[in-house]
Copies of this chain bind each other. A is one copy, B any other.
Amino acid sequence: MISVEQARARILSGLRPLPSETIPLSEAWRRVLAAPVVARLTHPPSDMSAMDGYALRAADASPGAVLKVIGEAPAGHPFAGQVQPGQAVRLFTGSVVPQGADAVLLQENATRDGNAVRVNEAIAAGRHIRPRGQDFTEGDTVLHPGTRLTPRQIGLAAAANHAWLHVHRQPRVAILATGDEIALPGEALPAGGIVSSNSHMLAAMVRAAGGIPTILPVAPDRPDALADALAGGLGADLLVTTGGASVGDHDSVQAALAAHGFTLDFWQVAMRPGKPVISGYAGATPVLGLPGNPVSAAVTATLFMLPALAHLQGLANTNPPTATAVAGAPLRANDHRADFLRATLSRNDAGRLTATPFSRQDSAMLTVLSAADCLLLRAPYAEAADVGAEVQIIMLDRKEV
């Protein structure tokens, strides 16, 4: 058995970020940049007014001064002439400040009378003007490769005049659930059978991580049928199986993979839940074999599949993001396997983030998994700890507490 960290490093070492593709800006949310976004223009393009008011020379703006309004420049319609001493031009937010002017008098501080405007408050040069290039200058790198694009960054790419972006291709992940006992929701169940939940959960995890899932038909346990089913996942960026990986029956998935030239890297990780994890290659296709129990599948997918998908998308930080919390219940001493306790999150009286493990940690309990906010990490050989002890957690989905 190898450690969780070793297992993750070995999985990632066999993967390379996927090549890039060109996509329209409107499809860019959550995609990962494969190339820098370089500003194609300077923003603002000129000195612009930040407010509604009057462009003038600050030297003219003594209280009581009356200036001649020589024109108006709505946003998008710059004033062609020059502002001379004693003159002003009516402006609006986003208007280009005309030549000669060096300040904007707020309309609240001005009294308009026909073609004249009276200054009610002195202003300093530069006031209410956004100088040309304040935000960025043509040639500036405004976004870097490896960035997963947020809505605001998409806005920035647009402002930098990019209608198309170069991003890493989304990982295509083939998902194969195995087992004679499982059936699709709504379909006929075999005796003592259960409904397949892992493939649907994993497909949603793949989507949430930015990948494109394909759910392969459920594979029965017969090696030849299993080998046929696995063939459907060859050529994917990642082939993920669930089930058929535990001590008693691990031969089924591995034997079936052998028909596709499988090279095993490892198949056991010192963790709980989820010890039976297979990693290797069916020809050129990376294969990740997860346990069949839903909680084990979710935990191992969080620890291994999500980092793999992050790496394939070109993200620099691929480790599951951890945070610090305090224990909401006493924790037992741990054995040689890293333990990932399903826990809820709350705030204790002192306002600290508090992770409280469920009393029932069975790896088949979907209700507990579904209600959990995070995994509470217990390192191998961790000593017993009391309520209030600092612990590391991995958030399972976003929750604000």
Contacts and interface: CB of A to CB of B under 8 A. Distances in A.
Interface of A: 25-26, 28-30, 41, 43-46, 48, 50, 52, 74-78, 92-96, 107, 130, 134-136, 142-143, 149-164, 179-182, 184-186, 189-198, 200-205, 207-208, 215, 221, 246-249, 292-294, 298, 321-324, 351, 362-367, 369-370, 372, 395-398, 400
B45 A194 contact: yes
A362 B131 CA distance: 11
B155 A323 contact: no
Contact of A366 (B155, B249, B323): B155
What is the predominant secondary structure among interface residues of chain A facing chain B? loop
Given A130-B364, A135-B365, A248-B93, A46 B152 contact: no
Q: Which of A25, A52, A370 has the most B CB atoms < 10 Å from its CB?
A: A370
Contacts of A298: 151-152, 155
B75 A179 contact: yes
A178 B99 CA distance: 26
B366 A161 contact: no
Contacts of A362: 50, 130, 134
Contacts of A164: 186
A192 B76 contact: yes
Contacts of A44: 194, 364
B202 A43 contact: no
A155 B367 contact: no
A330 B298 CA distance: 43
A300 to B, nearest CB: 13
A86 B248 CA distance: 23
Contacts of A136: 366-367
Residue from A25, A158, A215 having most chain B Cβ neighbours under 10 A:
A158
- Protomer copies: 2
Contact of A200 (B30, B154, B351): B154
Contacts of A149: 204
Nearest to A97: B192
A181 B75 contact: yes
Nearest to A248: B52
A373 to B, nearest CB: 10
Contacts of A400: 321-323, 395
A186 B105 CA distance: 34
Contacts of A322: 400
A192 B96 contact: yes
A201 to B, nearest CB: 3
28 contacts: A25-B185, A45-B194, A75-B181, A75-B221, A76-B179, A76-B181, A76-B182, A78-B192, A93-B248, A107-B247, A107-B248, A134-B365, A136-B366, A136-B367, A149-B204, A150-B397, A151-B203, A151-B207, A152-B370, A152-B396, A155-B298, A155-B369, A155-B370, A158-B201, A163-B185, A163-B186, A323-B400, A398-B398
